[in-house]
Amino acid sequence: MPLTTPGYPQLLLRGLLAGLIAGLLAATFAYLAGEPHIDAAIAIEEAGAPEGDALVSRDVQSGPGLFLATGLYGIALGGILATAYTVLRRRLHTGSDTTAALGLAAAALTGIVLVPYLKYPPNPPAVGDPATIDQRTAAYLAAVALGLVAVWAAALAARTQTHPWARATAAAAAFGVVVTIAYTLLPTFDEVPADFPATLLWDFRISSLGTQTILWTTLGLGYAGLLARLAHRTETPVTLP
């Protein structure tokens, strides 16, 4: 369906709303579970660095700034999900709008979050060499792109089979091959100081993954729910011609 079709604004609006809700919930989790670890890491960093004036105070960064940034990020992701749903809905082999929306969100969580996360887990402040930030950024973006390629390869492989177990096996094999090749080709960065607390590093990474998981899970469930309400109101499925 072209983006100028009258149905797209309704789909987009619901994606933006679902994204806002997802962003605020993710920000709440990040504030409660992640910010204490960031504060602890910053304390370690400041202990070994000369004192300086921050452009934005930590109270603003960890409070209003966190909710504003994550809310806007969620809105942007909601718009992307709605657009992807509009463009790809006809190609998804399911008659359920809910399944389609949840499937797209799960694919995004896998390709955009999980695949890069396992290769390049996030590090708190005080971890990482500033001299390699450009290389690390480029490698991370490459991991995101290859993660999406892996999801796409899995979807194509699944379509070559008819039996459910065969579809699942083909998808897992294709996904695994692409991810293995990607992890082999991408560079490795090991810049965690030997004296950095392992527990703090682990807790920070788990809270970061939890924030992303809550964001995408809420986005998928919220968008699917809003689509169901739209279909109920119009008494027709939200399927695209």
Q: How far apart are CA 149 and CA 158, in angstroms?
A: 14
Domain extent listing, the chain: 1-127+193-241, 129-191
Q: How far apart are CA 191 and CA 180, in angstroms?
A: 22
Q: How far apart are CA 135 and CA 129, in angstroms?
A: 11
**Averaged pLDDT, 11-37:** 93
pLDDT digits (tens, 9 = 90+) for 74-100: 999 999 999 999 888 878 777 788 888
Spatial contact of 48 and 88, defined as CB atoms under 8 Å apart? no
Rama region for 235: left / alpha / beta (φ>0; ψ in -120 to 50; rest):
left
In one-letter notation, the amino acid at residue 11 is: L
pLDDT digits (tens, 9 = 90+) for 133-174: 899 999 999 999 999 999 999 999 999 988 989 999 999 999
Residue whose C-alpha is closest to residue 65's, from 27, 22, 17:
27
The label of the residue with tokens 């992307």 reads 80
Spatial contact of 213 and 109, defined as CB atoms under 8 Å apart? yes
Within 89-132, where are the H helices? 97-108, 115-119
pLDDT digits (tens, 9 = 90+) for 188-236: 998 888 888 889 889 999 999 999 999 999 999 999 999 988 877 765 5
Cβ partners under 8 Å of residue 170, min gap 6:
157, 158, 160, 161
Q: How far is CA 118 from the centre of its chain?
A: 13
Residue whose C-alpha is closest to residue 108's, from 18, 240, 173, 33:
18
Please report, rounded to a whole number, the percentage of residues in the chain having pLDDT higher than 90. Answer: 57
**Averaged pLDDT, 105-125:** 94
